Every structure is written in structure tokens, then in C-alpha cells.
């Protein structure tokens, strides 16, 4: 076990370094954009005098590395500065939205991951049957359609025509968990439909990939029933690629849902852009780290060294 802990510690350290590098890229990428913040904020009303005044106020007259370390130091403590547009704290603005995003992403993931893996096992078991084909067509159709289109279709059938779920998914803190889940069911379902196909197909592919291995033939020749061959003899060896795809899709759920960043970029609200980028980068790194650790833990050679 000591080996695994040290592997995890190493990965964690590498993850932190990656994050640091990304923070540098984010900060200086923003610096590279034409014009500066002061110009962007003042727009057409910019004169030499008030530009200089605003630059001084925002601290833009100092050297970039100095500002980088200041920004990084504050970011580590959770302070991302103030929005240039609304003048309010970026951390506050993001945390509320990020909380909602996390809620929705978790909701979707809790449904999508088990469903995808179960479906993947089933289509592997009944491979090349009608069931396999139908499952493939349905999930591929849903992954190929844009989210907003899927959303409208679901609203049309599940909200407007049958009235089973509310069409508007606004939630607040006073609601009970059940209410929240009910309100956000349609957006969650949209996300589920978008991510299930990828994970299901990877589960199917990595199981089928192993079906021609000698130990699977051995299991069959020992008289092990077909479902047990899949669940007991291939699935435990098929985890690594599946886990990686799951992590990728979870990251997509968290970072792909939000549209705020588009708005922020067009308005040149740099503190918001930087904060979002950093949070998303951290999410990606964390999830990939989790996937790495997961792959290691499912590998018996690493779990039980000689």
C-alpha cells in the first residue's frame, strides 16, 4: 500500500505544478489581449488622463510579474478581486453559480455514470443483437444533438405536453432537496443524455476488447455462464479506460454547462475570466488525478506488488 500512497502523493504534487503553470498561462494570456483593461472599461470615453488614473487605481501601472504574484496570492486565499463590470466580488458571484453548476453536474453524474456502465455491460453481453444496435442508435443520436435542442425536446414532451416536470429550473436555498431535484430534473436529464453515450461505448469497447483474451476463453471452458464472464472476468480488467472517460465526462459536466464565461470575455471582465479559467483547470486536473488513482487502484499488479 505504501507504494500506492507515494504514487498518489507524486501525482498530487505534479497536479499542483500543472495548476501553477496553467495559472501563469491564464494570467499572461489575458495580458496579451490587445489593449488593456482600462481601455476596455472606459471605451469611447477614454482620454489620456482618465486612462492613467484608472490604471493607477487598478494597479495596472506596475510590472506584470508583480501583479501576477499578487493575483495568485489572493486567489489561493479565495479572493479573485472585483468584477470590472459589476464592481462586486468575483468570488461571491462565481461561488453561487459554481455551486449551482456543481449541484446540477452531480445530479446528472449520479444518474449517468451507473446507467452508462450498466448499459455498457448489457450491450457487451448482448453484443450485435437488436438491443445493442438500438442502444447505440439512441445514445449516439442524443450525443449528436446540441444540448439546447435536446433541452427543448424534453421540455416539449415532459413539461408542456405531459406536465410531469417543471420547465423552469430556478432553484433557491429555501427549497427542500426533493423540490430542487424535481425542478432541475429536465436540465439534469439533458446532461445525462449528452454524456451517457461516450461512457457506455467505452465500457462496451473495453469489455469486448478483452473477450478474445486467453483468460476469458479459459473462463468459458470452465463452464462459467456468459453474464459472469462479463461481470467477473472482464469488467474488473476493463476499468482503467472506463474511469478515464468517466472523469472526462464529469469534467465536461462541470465546465461545459456554464455560459457565463462567454459573456465575461466579450465584456473584457478579466478577473471573472481568470477566476473561471483557474477553477475549470483545477477541476480538470483534480478529476484526471482521480481517474489516474482509480486506474491504479483497479490494477491488481499495482495493488498487490510481488
Partner 1 sequence: MSQDKSVLLKIKNLRIEGYSDEKWIEIVHGVDLTLHRGEVMGLIGESGAGKSTIGLAAMGFTRDGCRISEGSSIEFDGMELTTTPASDLQSLRGARIAYVAQSAAASFNPAHKLIDQHTEAPVQYRIKKRLESQEDAMELYERLRLPNPREIGFRYPHQVSGGQLQRAMTAMAMACRPDLIIFDEPTTALDVTTQIEVLSAIRDIVDQFNTAAIYITHDLAVVAQMADVIKVLLKGDEVEEADTRTMLENPKDDYTKSLWAVRDFKRDQKPRPTEGLPLISVKNVDASYGDTPVLHDVSFDIFEGMTVAVVGESGSGKSTTARCITGLLPPTSGEVLFKGQPLPPDYRNRTKDQLRQAQMIYQMADTALNPKVKICDIIGRPAQFYSGLHGPELKSRVDELLDLIELDPSQYYNRYPPELSGGQKQRIGIARSLAADPTFIICDEVTSALDQLVAEGILRLLDKLQNELNLSYMFITHDLATVRSIADEVVVMQYGKVVEQGPKDEMFKPPHHEYTDLLLSSVPEMDPDWLTTLLEERGVDDIGEAARASKQED
Binding footprint of partner 1 on the chain (CB under 8 A): 212-215, 217-225, 228, 232-233, 236-237, 300-301, 304, 306
Q: Which CB atom, from 99 or from 300, has the smaller least distance to partner 1?
A: 300
- Round to whole Å and give the CA distance between 123 and 171: 37
Q: Which of 246, 255, 227 is nearest to 294 (CA)?
A: 246
The grid cell for 3 is 507504494
Closest distance to partner 1 from the beta carbon of 272 (Å): 47
The grid cell for 48 is 489620456
Closest distance to partner 1 from the beta carbon of 287 (Å): 24
Q: Identify the DSSP state of 161.
A: I
Q: Which CB atom, from 234 or from 255, has the smaller least distance to partner 1?
A: 234
Give the list of residues 6+ apart from residue 183 with CB closer than 8 angstroms, or none. 166, 168, 169, 170, 171, 175
Q: Identify the DSSP state of 165.
A: S
Closest distance to partner 1 from the beta carbon of 296 (Å): 14
Radius of gyration of the chain (CA): 24
Q: Which CB atom, from 59 or from 300, has the smaller least distance to partner 1?
A: 300
Q: Which CB atom, from 193 or from 210, has the smaller least distance to partner 1?
A: 210
- Round to whole Å and give the CA distance between 53 and 47: 10
Closest distance to partner 1 from the beta carbon of 213 (Å): 7
Q: What is the enclosing helix (H) or strand (E) of 191?
A: helix 185-210
Q: Which CB atom, from 108 or from 207, has the smaller least distance to partner 1?
A: 207
Closest distance to partner 1 from the beta carbon of 229 (Å): 10
Longest CA–CA separation in the chain, Å: 86
Q: Which CB atom, from 67 or from 220, has the smaller least distance to partner 1?
A: 220
- Round to whole Å and give the CA distance between 113 and 108: 8
SS3 content of the chain, % helix, strand, coil (to 5): 80, 0, 20
Closest distance to partner 1 from the beta carbon of 216 (Å): 8
Amino acid at each position: 500500500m505504501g507504494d500506492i500512497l507515494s504514487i498518489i502523493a507524486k501525482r498530487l504534487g505534479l497536479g499542483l505544478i500543472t495548476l501553477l503553470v496553467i495559472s501563469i498561462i491564464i494570467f499572461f494570456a489575458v495580458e496579451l489581449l490587445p489593449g488593456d483593461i482600462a481601455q476596455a472599461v472606459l471605451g469611447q470615453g477614454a482620454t489620456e488622463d482618465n486612462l492613467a488614473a484608472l490604471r493607477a487605481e487598478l494597479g495596472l501601472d506596475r510590472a506584470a510579474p508583480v501583479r501576477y504574484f499578487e493575483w495568485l496570492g489572493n486567489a489561493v486565499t479565495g479572493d479573485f478581486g472585483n468584477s470590472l463590470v459589476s464592481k462586486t466580488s468575483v468570488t461571491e458571484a462565481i461561488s453561487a453559480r459554481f455551486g449551482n453548476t456543481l449541484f446540477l453536474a452531480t445530479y446528472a453524474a449520479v444518474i449517468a455514470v451507473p446507467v452508462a456502465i450498466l448499459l455498457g455491460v448489457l450491450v457487451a453481453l448482448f453484443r450485435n443483437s437488436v438491443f445493442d444496435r438500438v442502444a447505440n442508435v439512441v445514445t449516439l443520436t442524443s450525443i449528436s444533438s446540441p444540448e439546447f435542442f435536446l433541452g427543448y425536446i424534453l421540455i416539449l414532451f415532459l413539461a408542456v405536453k405531459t406536465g410531469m416536470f417543471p420547465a423552469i429550473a430556478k432553484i433557491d436555498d429555501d427549497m427542500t432537496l426533493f423540490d430542487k431535484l424535481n425542478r432541475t430534473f429536465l436540465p439534469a436529464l439533458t446532461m445525462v443524455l449528452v454524456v451517457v453515450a461516450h461512457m457506455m461505448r467505452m465500457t462496451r469497447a473495453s469489455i469486448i476488447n478483452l473477450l478474445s483474451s486467453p483468460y476469458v476463453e479459459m473462463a468459458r471452458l470452465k463452464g462459467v455462464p456468459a453474464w459472469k464472464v462479463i461481470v467477473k472476468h472482464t469488467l474488473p480488467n476493463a476499468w482503467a479506460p472506463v474511469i478515464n472517460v468517466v472523469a472526462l465526462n464529469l469534467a465536461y459536466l462541470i465546465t461545459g454547462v456554464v455560459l457565463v464565461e462567454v459573456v465575461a470575455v466579450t465584456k473584457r471582465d478579466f478577473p471573472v475570466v481568470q477566476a473561471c479559467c483557474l477553477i475549470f483547470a483545477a477541476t480538470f486536473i483534480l478529476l484526471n488525478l482521480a481517474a489516474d488513482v482509480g486506474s491504479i487502484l483497479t490494477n491488481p499488479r499495482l495493488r498487490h506488488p510481488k
